[in-house]
Amino acid sequence: MKKVHIGCDHAGFELKEKLKNFLMQEYEVMDHGTFSSESVDYPDYAHPVASAVETQGDLGILICGSANGVAMAANKHEQVRAAVCWLPEIAQLARLHNNANIVCIPARFVSNEMAEQITHVFLSTAFEGGRHENRVNKIGCI
């Protein structure tokens, strides 16, 4: 069974719990928190997910109110390509063209159903490679 790492801040807690149930049918879900809707700092949950994705080669899901905070924190990790996605089409392109390995979902701006669609598309789409490989290889700082 494939592993997926998931984490969120307080704004994403409810959606994270719903997505975990959706994912458990096909994935081993590694939950990095938070574990309640009490106010927390998003980097405390984005970094463990990003570290796991970076070292284990799995995919990840991060959720916060806008998705920007968790994406910024996760993208500090050298081997992480975290993409903010609010539509399935964006999630598909993030995987196809950018080889994103973490999807960042804005809990305050998408429905539960849309989040499930985004997650499904992200996890089931493979990197296209080809002309995109060279571009992706240039993302890191030199």
Record the tokens describing residue 109, joined without a space.
């701006």
Q: How far apart are CA 122 and CA 87, in angstroms?
A: 10
3-state SS class at 54: helix
Rounded-to-integer distance, Cα 33 and Cα 31, Å = 6
Is 77 an annotated catalytic residue? no
Amino acid code (one letter) for 25:
Q
Q: How far is CA 39 from the centre of its chain?
A: 20
Active-site hit among 8, 64, 85, 104 = 64
- Asked if 97 is an active-site residue, the reply is yes
Contacts of 68 (CB under 8 A, 6+ apart): 84, 104, 106
CA nearest neighbour of 103 among 111, 133, 120: 120
Q: Catalytic positions, please? A: 64, 97
